[in-house]
Structure 1
Amino acid sequence: MNNQAHSLAGLDLLASAVLVLDADGCISYANPAAENLLESSLKVMQHQRLTEMFLNGDKLQDIFSQAVAHQFDDKRQDLVLERAGRDPLQVHVIVTALDDPQAPVLIELRENVQQLKLDREERLIDQSQANKELIRNLAHEIKNPLGGIRGAAQLLELELPERHLNPLREYTQVIIKEADRLQTLVDRLLAPHRRPHIVGDVNIHEVFERVRSLIMAEFPNGLTIRRDYDLSVPEFRGDKEQLIQAVLNIAHNAAQALAKRIEAGDAMLTFQTRVARQVTLVKVRYRLALDLHIMDNGPGIPPEIQNRIFYPLVSGRDGGSGLGLTLAQTFIQQHMGVIECESRPGCTDFRILIPLP
């Protein structure tokens, strides 16, 4: 066992999960990446049958039996391994037959990142469609009684004796102002569905420069906006105003999240433009796509809302409406694109992908 441990020590450095099985299919070795992937330690997994760790372990059993019988040198297969009480693992499995009778099979598990990405995008699109229907219906249901409430408050105010001096006017004004605030919110919810999609030639750098000027006008001190542009990015057909609004919503959120760094004078926003090749967006393959990044060095998005930031009325900031990213996602989806986000303290990266013809 010590000789085996010594011979396998190099596998500890691999980023992919590696397991060595004995002749009975029990785990005799697992590298740290396998411990992380399977959420268990080697001490717990050792001498446990790998197939028993999954609800559909029979899929692995067949491959293991073929490897022991030396029916192949190595075999590759994509599998979804189901686990009780945990998310299923979508992995690319590489099974290698070894010449060691005590440890005849080595299995490498690589998370299927592309499949996970496709599933995440599909869920995002489905959720976005459901959100849009919910928003439209809810906004229309709110809009009609809201007008009645505001009108009743105005009529009530007119009936007040000496209304400009009457202390009760304060209450009618509260009703009117709150009705107006809700009306503005409803209008913002309905805005993407009312405005026609106006298509023309778009230079994405003009979009970013317009956003940059707006952000710098609001945050003139303590914030640096770094431009990392690929000037070879071609023009494309799109709605320039929608794209400006989408990028502005993301950049403005980032600038507000940088409040403490702006005070310290070291806040940084980065605008990056690239062209990505052979990109798959929602199960459609595109030869070329715009690859845009809006990055900041702020505190990061709270982990508890990272998976919900594109949902309406979800905000990580006190006083935020929670509509900026929802509208941005809607506008980008109208260009057949998607917005992705990765965030950790010190670096939040919003990535916009839009297919090019």
Structure 2
Amino acid sequence: MEAELDLLSIAVLLVDRAGIVRRANAAAETTFDLSRRLLEGHAARSLFVQSVQIDELLAGVPADGEFPQRRLLMAVRRSLREPLPVVVIAGPAAAEGLALVLEVFDPGVVGRVMREDRRADISETNRRLLRNLAHEIRNPLGGIRGAAQLLESELSGADQREYTRVIISEADRLQSLLDRVLAPGGGRRGPRVVEAINIHEVCERVRSVILAEHPVGLAVVRDYDASIPEIQADREQLIQVLLNVVRNAAQALAARIAQGDAQIVLRTRIARQVTFARFHCPLALDLRVIDNGPGVSEEIRERVFDPLVSGREGGSGLGLALAQGYIEDNGGMIDFETEPGRTEFRILLPIDRAPSETMG
């Protein structure tokens, strides 16, 4: 049962008839700001500001242990911190010797999970619409290119053929864009290959590519935690994710690169007790890409991961959409914060769970 409880993203306490916590899951450690060792054996009433409500719940448990669920608005006591408002759902415990199951919801976490689920649904809908649109465009585009080639063969003047070359060049560019949209895996050909990956090798590869593209005016700073263990993920997808995010940052830094003071920081850390949309993870990789650019414009902040949304002229708007899809394929999540002078993209990936296990 402990292993199953630890997969839940919400805090769960199993309480006996004496009011003592007998089991606590991993998420409860984060919610109550206490280790499992301290939670188990603790009086449940002392964990909440409204301790009387716990007393009333225990007093109302009938001899057969069956009673309807109750929903309570309470607050969790936390040492040296303000109480945390929570929603508690109390129900009967089926196991012998236990009286209550307390499911404790942090409204902030619940809200974030709901936003992630909603964004994932919107993203999937957008991807389907985009693929359908790409199929509809592909055949007429081929006809336009073919007609332009035929027209070019009939033209004698170089100045006239210049116009047909523009048509052919733009048709080829759109065809390349459609190929990326329609390719298996959303741009990566072939099946996913999950393997053990050193994230710093991925960072170094991307760093070398970006510095080759911008040899002057841009500093790509390493801020690595060398203790981070290998993660299970698709190497090529992670390289593409990080390359898309860092390249976007570099493009946003064009003015500062010209001034010579542009900076991108690649930061890796361990994150503990992370709640993903579908599960709770004791350890996760926390990868940040931080730049000192102008920030993401307010007009596109809510849609920055949508296909065909770009903050710069001539951008395809596919880089971050593909990055989000790849991160979700690997059981993780991506988000960002931005303000003038600083934009920070955060990528979270599970360390101790394989992607195949997280996707269900």
The TM-score with structure 2 as length reference comes to 0.66
SS at match of 2:336: strand
Of 238, 242, 264, 1:243 maps to 238
SS in 1 for 2:330: coil
Secondary structure at the aligned position of 2:167 is classed as: helix
Q: Would you say 1:226 and 2:228 are equivalent positions?
A: no
Name the CA distance, whole Å, in 1 between partners of 2:193 and 2:86. Answer: 47
Once superposed, what is the RMSD of the aligned Cα atoms? Answer: 2.6
Q: Structure 1 residues 124, 78: closer, same or farther in 2, change over 3 A? A: farther
Aligned to 1:335: 330
For residues 133-155 of structure 1, the C-alpha deviation after alignment (integer angstroms, 9 at most, x for no partner) is 11211111111221122122222
Q: Deviations over 1:67-121 (max 9, x none)?
A: 9xxx9xxx97179xxxxxxxxxxx9379xxxxxxxxxxxxxxxx93212211221
Post-superposition, which runs of at least 4 consecutive aligned residues in structure 1 deviate over 4 A?
A: none
Question: Which residue number corresponds to residue 133 of structure 1?
Answer: 128
Equivalence for 2:49: none
C-alpha distance in 2 between matches for 1:321 and 1:273: 28
CA contact (8 A) 1:135 1:190 kept: no
Report the equivalent of 1:153.
148
Distance 1:149 1:243, change over 3 A: same
Return the alpha-carbon distance in structure 1 between the equivalents of residues 340 and 258 of structure 2.
17
CA distance in 1, matches of 2:158, 2:208: 46
Give the corresponding residue for 1:188.
180
Larger RCO: Structure 1 or Structure 2 (Cα < 8 Å, ≥ 6 residues apart)? 2
List runs of 5+ in structure 1 lacking aligned partners.
1-66, 80-90, 95-110
Matched, 1:177 2:148: no
Number of residues paired by the alignment?
257
- What does 1:56-95 align with in structure 2 at a 5 Å threshold? 77=73, 92=85
Within a 5 Å distance, the mapping from 1:1-357 to structure 2 comes to 77=73, 92=85, 112-158=107-153, 160=154, 163-165=155-157, 167-191=159-183, 192-193=185-186, 195=189, 196-356=191-351, 357=353
Sequence identity percentage: 56
SS in 2 for 1:350: strand
CA–CA separation in structure 2 for the residues paired with 1:117 and 1:294: 21
Larger C-alpha radius of gyration, 1 or 2? 1
Q: Distance in 2 between matches of 1:297 and 1:76?
A: 45
Residue 323 of structure 2 aligns to which amino acid in structure 1? A
**For residues 345 and 86 of structure 2, what CA distance do their matches in structure 1 show?**
31
In 2: Cα distance, 1:93 partner to 1:333 partner: 28
1: distance between equivalents of 2:72 and 2:209?
52
TM-score, length-scaled by structure 1: 0.66
SS class of match (1:140): helix
* Structure-1 separation of matches of 2:350 and 2:72: 31
Deviations 1:121-140 (A, max 9, x none): 11111111112211211111
Q: Is 1:76–1:92's contact at 8 Å kept on the other side of the alignment?
A: no
CA distance in 2, matches of 1:202, 1:344: 32
C-alpha displacement at 1:343, in angstroms? 0.5
Could you say which residue in structure 2 is the equivalent of 1:103? none
Mapped to 2, the partners of 1:280 and 1:311 lie a distance apart of 23
Unaligned runs of 5+ in 2: 1-51, 57-70, 76-83, 88-105, 354-360
| C-alpha displacement of 1:166 | 5.8
The 8 Å contact of residues 86 and 107 in structure 2, kept in 1 or not, is answered as no
Equivalent position amino acid for 2:111 in 1 = L
Contact 1:222 / 1:265 at 8 angstroms: preserved in 2? Answer: yes
Contact 1:204 1:235 in 2 (8 A): yes
**Map of 2:29 onto structure 1:** none
